[in-house]
Structure 1
């Protein structure tokens, strides 16, 4: 969900949003109801009935704490099919499997209503246009005990191709040493193109889950920004390769 494409908006600080004491007390119940009873039928309607979605390699996702999903970024709704197709229905009875997501505060926490809704979806607000240390620390903390989804490109692709990732995701990896799972999305940019407010129907969407990426050989220099960038570059190369595989598969079915 994290997005960095509008520098003008990024320069303006969004209002801070934090759950109050009543919200914190009710969150376990409301979060379970929304993410397991309300959201799944909506996601299935959009991606399973109105569009066609194929998933490759679902069993490669470790259902374990300290699992980091790194994915390319194609639309504002990328996190929803990832959570649904890779962790539902298991997360209904094992709530720790519900992935956390980094989300641009300017888009998803711009008012109390949006803040409450996306708090239920386990979104971590990230401020664009700056190094958000608070979000990075919180991401590392939730990752140690659960599953986290990040989009290292930091912005939606303009042409559908995989871009270069930023070092921030690599810094989280160096802090937590998680299982790193590369996921490639293809076709979501046609379901909800940049500038569109309503999703389209009749599109083909593919989700490819790769094998966990090894990175121990890139950690010799400790928590350096260079090591972080090298790790992210390796993962993004895998994601780009998987996209080429997906597109060959799609062409072969025509």
Structure 2
């Protein structure tokens, strides 16, 4: 109930007026059955715009920290995330990551839409970073299609490190479903899962027009924190020179 209240009464109307979101490719989302909505991740506000534009309910796997806050703020945060159908996941260990994948697979097998950010973290500089293979694992084990999604200009609504949102027009671009049934039974094969993930990231890159960086965003952020460098400087130091020519295309697809 709270999900629809937030979408149609509390938050949705305000977002539509202030950010005037446009959606393209809405017909690519199935009217029933499970599917992965795999999106780039530019802003903390991303999770608002996709469910707002999609008619069906979208479930996200949310950081467990959102459900552990204390005091009035923590209580309100827990109420909001629980009430809007977000599922807490622990990302602190390998076993926790496996549990998150199992949870996502169950959600998909039950016929729901699952929103995922394959990069695993917000982009530090509005470029598209290497995707983690969990999205491929869940798609293979549940047998559902993956629908690439591109958020455009959401980083201008809520830039990284800023708490207060800004008014800016945004766009949501939804691509055609990707069918990976040809890989049925190959869940757990690291080469297959990497190939699938790179194909998904290529489609997101094509939709968004972002520059692609074949490094994990989380590692780039860690390097930034350790050195005080910008994302561009950190990437330049981390990336071997031989790979610089392929910085716009996932390596599996670049040939």
TM-score bracket, shorter-length normalisation: 0.7 to 0.9
Q: Does 1:99 align with 2:58?
A: yes
Shift of residue 223 of structure 1? 2.8
Q: Does 1:188 align with 2:154?
A: yes
Shift of residue 53 of structure 1? 1.4
The alpha-carbon distance between structure 1 residues 42 and 200, as it changes in their structure 2 partners (threshold 3 A), is farther
Among candidates 42, 64, 67, match of residue 109 of structure 1: 67
Secondary structure at the aligned position of 1:50 is classed as: helix
TM-score by length of 2: 0.73
- 2:142 aligns with 176
Shift of residue 137 of structure 1? 1.1
CA distance, structure 1, for counterparts of residue 36 and residue 155 of structure 2: 23
CA distance, structure 2, for counterparts of residue 61 and residue 52 of structure 1: 21
**Which stretch shows the higher mean deviation, 41-50 or 176-185?**
41-50
Q: Does 1:216 align with 2:184?
A: no
The alpha-carbon distance between structure 1 residues 157 and 46, as it changes in their structure 2 partners (threshold 3 A), is farther
What is the aligned residue count? 202
Among candidates 190, 197, 200, match of residue 163 of structure 2: 197
* Alignment RMSD: 1.9
CA distance, structure 2, for counterparts of residue 173 and residue 147 of structure 1: 12
Among candidates 110, 117, 128, match of residue 151 of structure 1: 117
- 2:93 aligns with 130
Query: Which gives a bigger RCO, structure 1 or 2 (Cα 8 Å, sep 6+)?
Result: 1
Shift of residue 78 of structure 1? 1.3
2:3·2:85 contact (CA, 8 Å) conserved in 1? no
Gaps of 5+ in 1: 1-31, 88-96, 246-254
Gaps of 5+ in 2: 211-255
Among candidates 219, 237, 245, match of residue 202 of structure 2: 237
